[in-house]
Structures are given as C-alpha cells and as structure tokens.
Structure 1
Amino acid sequence: MFAFLHTLLQRPELHPVLLENRRYFAEFDQGRPLTDCRFVAFDTELTGLGRRDEIISIGAVKISKMQIEMDHVFNQLVRPANLSPNQATFIHHITPEQLREAPTLEEVLPQFVEFCGDALLLGHFVEIDMGYLNRAARKILGGTLANPTVDTLRLVKAYKETSYICDYGYCDQSFSCNLDELITEFNLPRFKPHDALEDALQCAYLFLFLAKKLNNGEIKTLRQLYQAGQPLLLRQN
C-alpha cells in the first residue's frame, strides 16, 4: 500500500502532449470507415525483454486513406540509462557508440506521441511495444497513451484460421506468425529485420494486405476490423 502511494506521489502531472492525446479519443467511433481513419504502424527496439530493459529505437510510418505515407515517418535512436552492450545488440546491431549521442526517451517520447496524433497504433504483437511505451509514459508523461491499437498478429491468426477451415475443414494451429516469414509467404515488399522503422514498414504492408483479404474484402469499418480479429469461436457466438 505504501509503495503504491509512493509511486503515485512521484508520478508527474499529465504532460500537455498527453492531454491532447486523450482529447483525440474522448469520443472514439468504431463505426468510422477505414478510409477515414489514420494509422501509425510502429516498432521499438529494446535492450531486452525484461522489466528493467529499455527502448533504444522507435520507428513509425503513417497510413492515411489506407495508403502508406512514405514521406511521414518517425525514426529515432534513444539513449538508454545503461549503455553497456548486451545480447540484444547481436540482434538489432545497435551499438553503445551509436546511442551515446542520441536523445533520451524523455525527449523522444513526447515527439512520438505528437507524431501519432489521432491515429490508431499498429504493431505486430503490439502488446509488447505498448507495454514498454506505456511504462515509460507513466514515468515521463504522467499517464498512458489513449490511442486504440490494432495487432497484426491477431489479424494474421484470424485470416489463417478462416482460410484453413475454408480449404481443409479444420484449422492447423502450427502455422508461423513470424513477421519475416509472413512477408515471404504473402509476397509483400521486404525490409531489413530488427530495425524499428523497417519493421514498422513491414507491419504497415502486412496490415493493408490483411485488411483487404479478411472477410473476402468486405471489411469497411473499424468495428468490422476488430470483429474480424477475434478468434473464430467468438465471432460465431
């Protein structure tokens, strides 16, 4: 109890950029056509997946009218508190030397929230990235982001689930949901893996592919998109 009160007292006042963020979504209409919605496909690179690990890169690209806006991207390295090399360095190839002159997350996070504006946030297994973003947002901005999210992982599972049942009468749950393998399977443009901006672009192309393929191309609204992303048993009830 005392630890909770101590954390609450230490939390900063709501940052102006977060106040604006919440104003955008005070009235969120899931009945809006997808073509009227803005999305931001994003990805983060981390020092690892533990509770003490940190964001070291954020990459994002905007989608408007269901088209990728290649001239509206966010791509920023972030200097963590701990600059020591770790196992993750061998995956994303971001070295302490590259991060030494980068801005801190205290500087970068408000810029990213402003970049996202009133867009829905897209990610592949988006809960991981949002977990780290919101943990940082509580500390830096005084609260969490209000942007609704869309997880391409859920959409992939729904698409494959439906396709398998239509073709074979059952669903083989062993299919891969790895982003790089999905790009190959669906013959989508390929970008460099383990780079935040390039992974965001992969996610954007995957999202547009799935939005057109799910329900035989009959998805027109956000509500239909969310419903399509639910497990098949829930959709049938």
Structure 2
Amino acid sequence: MNLFEWLRPKAKAAPLSSEQERRLGQLHAFTSLGEHSLRQQRWVVVDLETTGLNMSRDQVLSIGAVVIEDGAIDLSQQFEQTLLRVDHKPGPAVLIHGLGPSAIAAGNEPVEALLDFMEFVGDSPLLAFHAPFDQHMLGRALKDSLGYRLQHAFLDVADIAPMLCPQANFRQAGLDDWTGFFGLHAEERHHASADAMVTAELALILFSHARRQQIDSPARLEQCLGQWRRRKQSHSF
C-alpha cells in the first residue's frame, strides 16, 4: 500500500434499507452479567477469520459461532457466514484460513451477515479465545457497516484457562496448547466454526473447574477475571 492509498478516506457504507433499519432497531441490548449459575447462562462462543492481524486495517471474512446453553453445546444453535468483500485481495492469511477469492465472492453482504449474527447473539455474552482481537474486529465491522456499537460482554477463554488451571504452567498458551492439555481433539483448525466448537468444548471444561472453585455465576467469573488480570499485571512490573 502506497502513501496515497493510506491517506485516501474510506468509502462510506451504503445507507441501510428500511428493512435493515428495522432489524437494527430490534437488536437486543446487553445489560450486565448476572448472579445466576453458569449453567443457566446462554453463551455465544465466536471465532472470526480475518484478512490479517492488523486491527486497524484488516477486515472480518468469516464468522463462526456455537451456543452453550443448559450446561452443554446446543448443536441446534450454530452460526456460520462468510462475508462478501468486493475489494479483497488475498494475502498470506489465505494460507491459514483457506478463504480464497471464490469463497469470498460467494459470501453474504456484510450488512446482512452482521445483522444475522447479532440477531443470533441476542442479549447473550460472548466467549472467544484471545477475545480482545475478536471483540475489536467485530466491533469495528459492526460500526463500519451498521453504525452499531457493540456493548456485549466478551470473556476471554485464553485468560479463564490459566486463571482456573495454573498448574498447567503455560506461557502465552494458544488454543492448541489448551486443547492438548485437556485431551480435546479438533477435527479442523483455523476455520471459524471449527475453532468456535473446540473453544466451546474447552469453555465447558473450564466452567466445571470454576464451579469447583466456587465461581458459579457469570458476574463472579467476570469479577475474578478482572482481579486475576490486575494481579498478573502488578507482578509484571
């Protein structure tokens, strides 16, 4: 990308249709995590495939999600969509996620795909592995395409795991490290739906560990995560 391309203002998104505006206005607002049990909470476990890892410039290409409800993965509630990106030029990331030009050309319009996803999410909190990246990329996509501000809770399984299982003694562990630690097997990796599924399986194991440690509500889990991060940060100085 040359300097002139970098400085060129982004094209404005097309106005939403009246039907899209209606759907946008009916999206559920998220309030806060509650004191009910982890088992009672509906969780949406999400994974994104993107054009790259630059959180300012790269785009969401694919969204995969599964639901944890009543203490189990609900296979009747799954989401997977590839987003149409008309100006997308394949980069090195295609070697990882495999989303080539034909798959992107056959994708759904971003506005429709993102509305579909947020309707799927409803008012549920989200889980992801390395959640800050997914949260930022999804939030930016929603803002750019819908003018929508993402406010849902986004809990990071990559932090929940070492908080609850310090005996693993991992440094900067990835999803493969934790699935191996717990003996999980991923049929496919670096595919949004497959990664969301294995993250959900990992989350269920971690919820069981949380309950044994008297962390049995979404609000309590969020509180403990915040305390754990602050301790970790203070020890790094």
Pairing 1:105–2:110 present: yes
Pairing 1:48–2:44 present: no
Q: Deviations over 1:71-106 (max 9, x none)?
A: 210011112232322100111111111111211212
List structure 1 segments (4+ residues) > 3 angstroms apart after TM superposition. 9-23, 230-235
The alignment partner of 1:35 has SS state of: coil
Letter in 2 for 1:112: F
1:18–1:66: structure 2 CA closer, same or farther, 3 Å change rule?
farther
Q: Deviations over 1:202-232 (max 9, x none)?
A: 1101111111113635322112212332454
1:116–1:101: structure 2 CA closer, same or farther, 3 Å change rule?
same
Alignment match of 1:30 (pick from 19, 28, 34): 34
The alignment partner of 2:90 has SS state of: coil
Letter in 2 for 1:202: V
5 Å-filtered alignment, 1:150-229, equals 150-161=155-166, 163=167, 174-214=170-210, 216-229=212-225
Quote the residue 2:69 is aligned against: 64
Distance in 1 between residues matched to 2:15 and 2:139, nearest whole Å: 14
Q: Any unmatched runs of 5+ in structure 1?
A: 1-5, 165-171
Quote the residue 1:167 is aligned against: none
Contact 2:45 2:66 in 1 (8 A): yes
Offset at residue 128 of structure 1 (A)? 0.6
1:159–1:111: structure 2 CA closer, same or farther, 3 Å change rule?
same
Contact 1:60 1:200 in 2 (8 A): yes
The CA RMSD measured in Å over matched residues stands at: 2.9
Distance in 2 between residues matched to 1:57 and 1:49, nearest whole Å: 14
Contact 2:42 2:69 in 1 (8 A): yes
Distance in 2 between residues matched to 1:71 and 1:219, nearest whole Å: 28
Distance in 2 between residues matched to 1:10 and 1:74, nearest whole Å: 24
Distance in 2 between residues matched to 1:85 and 1:93, nearest whole Å: 10
Quote the residue 2:124 is aligned against: 119
Contact 2:210 2:216 in 1 (8 A): no
The alignment partner of 2:143 has SS state of: helix
Offset at residue 180 of structure 1 (A)? 1.4
Q: Deviations over 1:170-199 (max 9, x none)?
A: xx5x53421012111111242311000000
Q: Sequence identity of aligned pairs in percent?
A: 28
Q: Deviations over 1:151-175 (max 9, x none)?
A: 10110121233x36xxxxxxx5x53
Q: State the TM-score, normalizing by the size of structure 1.
A: 0.81
Quote the residue 1:168 is aligned against: none
Distance in 2 between residues matched to 1:124 and 1:16, nearest whole Å: 32
Offset at residue 11 of structure 1 (A)? 11
Q: State the TM-score, normalizing by the size of structure 2.
A: 0.81
Contact 1:176 1:182 in 2 (8 A): no
Contact 2:86 2:105 in 1 (8 A): no
Alignment match of 2:93 (pick from 75, 85, 88): 88
Distance in 1 between residues matched to 2:191 and 2:137, nearest whole Å: 17
Distance in 1 between residues matched to 2:101 and 2:180, nearest whole Å: 32
The alignment partner of 1:99 has SS state of: helix
Letter in 2 for 1:209: I
